[in-house]
Amino acid sequence: MNKEKKSEVVAVRVNGVILDLPKGTESKPAGGSAQEITLQMPEGLEILRHSTSHVMADAVKRLFPNAKLAIGPSIENGFYYDFDVDTPFSPEDLVKIEKEMESIVKSKTPFTRKEVSRDEALKLMDNKGEFYKTELINELGDQKITLYQHGDFTDLCRGPHIPDTGYVRAFKLLSATGAYWRGNEKNKMLQRIYGTVFPSKKELDDYLKHLEEVKKRDHRRLGKDLDLFSIQYDDAGPGLVFWHPKGAMIRKLIEDFWRDEHLKHGYELIYAPHIAKIGLWKTSGHWEFYKENMYSPMDIDGQEYILKPMNCPGHILVYKTKIRSYRDLPIRWAELGTVYRYERSGVLQGLFRVRGFTQDDAHLFCRFDQLDDEIKGVINLGLHIFRSFGFSDFKMVLSTRPTEKYVGTIEHWDKATAALKKSIEEIGLPYTVAEGEAVFYGPKADIHISDSLGRDWQCFTVQVDFNLPERFDMVYTAQSGTQERPVMLHRALMGSLERFFAILIEHYGGAFPMWLAPTQVIILPVAEAQHNYANEVKAALVKAGVRAQADLRNERLSQRIREATNQKISYMLVVGDKEEADKTVAVRERTKGDLGQLKLEDFINQIKDAVSKRL
């Protein structure tokens, strides 16, 4: 790769528009504003990454002339390009493509921009046999088409790009995988090459080290290694999760904690069926607006039923079972409700994206004068839950009313948005405002958490809904005797148990804190003579509420210690003749090693103390 130090300026912003460097400097208007865009700026890094995708596509075409070009955008932390090739790319192919890219980078070939008519662009791409490009051009209408060229390589692109290929100093191709054209499984499967690029080799090296740590913590690998869950693709189908005993134990602990905390915070628990008549989903609007993500109706006694994709209509039906008074509000109902949504096979990803999952759902019904306190209570509960699971870095995004296509009055939108903003500011969380990004039925606030690798995850959401109370004609009797609409809040803290469990696995690298560990302690007798004492120790631990196992296998002690360590069990209690005689245990901690002998009662108290503090 080219190590030569280059100027960091790659483009220019003129009157708010980012342009190629030559054009930008030439077109600076008299009295106009101009700002240099450098590689250290997010906009400059995006330009570098998109330009590198062109360099990669050029290298692929040189090595595989019959490859057809699809699309190649920049993405977070890198770029990709999709190709139509006869044979999937191998790891050896990626090495060859990288070497060819290095040659292109060393040539320092300029990027040039050209505007042509639609017909000229079609003719050029048609002559090259690039039928994916002609499909894209045909969708652009009669507008001018922008092409970018470096050397003999020309691509359809809006730009801007780096001045020349020499700016691509530190890059790496990461993987090749299948991807359907335009993300539709009905289209042809293409080959997608992912890569990354940074302004300096140090930044690239740091990122590659980060990727290695991410790979080690991948919840799919750890889920298998630690025997937590599986997805039975062939026998049961993709996107459907089987919780194994250890994973199910962790899920139980999460659910028990979740329920207990909700009861402490004034919630009531309810349950709704997994299926309902199709009419319910037509009333809610899901059938009209969400049908492509819902499973086909099933015929039951001549009527159509649907697997529920949401829990909210069920909660509304419970609300409507009797007349509600202003004295009844607020109502806070929570449900660990399993829902089913169709996701294309190409987007399924371990526990992060599945077809059946359990939401930690809740719906609150209140008066407008109660809205401030209810929102604040929801946010505080969410922060308490996250902190209990070991997260401490939060930020919020407040999404406001769209400019078009929204329900409810502007007055109600303004009141609800002000309540969200006030609650966030009083709690003291940093936040940004996403103007016009709310869904059509009401404003919302999302909490993003940062994990141990610095990755950002959006889990929590609280959404004000003016739509469903209207659709279902929800009312309460006000103090004046009039019938009023309640304000409805949709709220999820963890988002879904499956996704949150995946985040926890990767956050802790599978080494769960004591209070969440499926096995907290394993007893390892030195020899068969101590089997009875090992079982006595286990029985005492279990009686005290400790999740303990005894490994009585006829294997070397060192091997059993190594396997317990690999299973990320926090404490190993080694018992031999001396421990049995003294009624003690030799304590080994997974990361600290031998901690010496302790009386069993003292050790149990240590475990209980750690669990009580959620350590």
Query: CA torsion sign, 204 to 209 to 213 to 215?
Result: positive
**Residue 404, number of CB atoms within 10 A of its CB:** 7
Please pick, among 62, 68, 133, 490, the residue that the annotation labels catalytic: 490
Q: Is 210 a catalytic site residue?
A: no
Which residues, at least 6 apart from 460, have a Cβ–Cβ distance to it below 8 Å?
379, 382, 386, 446, 447, 449, 492, 493, 494, 495
CA 463 to chain centre: 19
Distances from the Cα of 27 to the Cα of 148, 161, 177, 518, angstroms: 19, 16, 42, 65
Judge if the upstream peptide bond of residue 330 is cis by omega within 30 degrees of 0: yes
Structure tokens at 259: 């329920």
Helices 497-508 and 245-264, packing angle to 10 deg: 110
Distance (Å, whole) CA 118 – CA 355: 42
- Choosing from 82, 93, 164, 361, which is the catalytic residue? 361
Known active-site residue 142:
no
* The two three-digit tokens of residue 480, written as one number: 């004046």
Q: What is the largest distance, in Å, between two alpha-carbon atoms of the chain?
A: 93
229 forms beta bridges with 243
Q: Cβ distance 60 to 67 under 8 Å?
A: yes
Catalytic status, residue 312: yes
- Which of 444, 507, 547, 560 is catalytic? The answer is 444
DSSP string, 49-118: HHHHHHHHHHHHHHH-TT-EE----EETTEEEEEEE-SSPPPHHHHHHHHHHHHHHHHTTPBPEEEEE-H
C-alpha R_g of the chain: 29
User: Whole-angstrom Cα distance, residue 502 to residue 349?
Assistant: 10
| 483 counts as catalytic | no
Instruction: Out of 341, 412, 421, 560, pick the active-site residue.
Output: 341
Catalytic choice (246, 363, 499, 507): 363
Distance of CA 466 to the CA centre of its chain: 28
Buried b (16+ CB within 10 A) or exposed e, 176-194: beebbbeeeeeeeebbbbb
Q: What's CA 526's distance to the chain center, in Å?
A: 45
CB of 363 closer than 8 Å to CB of 315: yes
Q: Read off the tokens for 414.
A: 């303004």
Asked if residue 137 lies in contact with residue 154, where contact means CB atoms within 8 angstroms, the answer is no
Query: In the 8-state DSSP scheme, what is residue 413?
Result: H
Q: Is 359 a catalytic residue?
A: yes
Which parts of 107-168 fold into alpha helices (H)?
Answer: 118-128, 131-138
C-alpha angle 291/292/298, rounded to 5°?
A: 60
Q: Phi and psi (nearest 5°) for 444?
A: -150, 165
Of the residues 161, 217, 355, 359, only one is catalytic, namely 359
The token pair at 546 is: 């400790």
The answer to whether residue 459 is catalytic is: no
Q: Any catalytic annotation for residue 50?
A: no
Dist. CA 419–CA 463, nearest whole Å: 12
Catalytic residue (one of 312, 520, 530, 568): 312
- Quickly count: other Cβ atoms within 10 Å of residue 148's Cβ: 21
Give CA separation, 425 vs 297, 395, 432, 461, in Å. Answer: 45, 12, 11, 16
Distance of CA 18 to the CA centre of its chain: 30
Residues forming the active site: 312, 341, 359, 361, 363, 444, 490
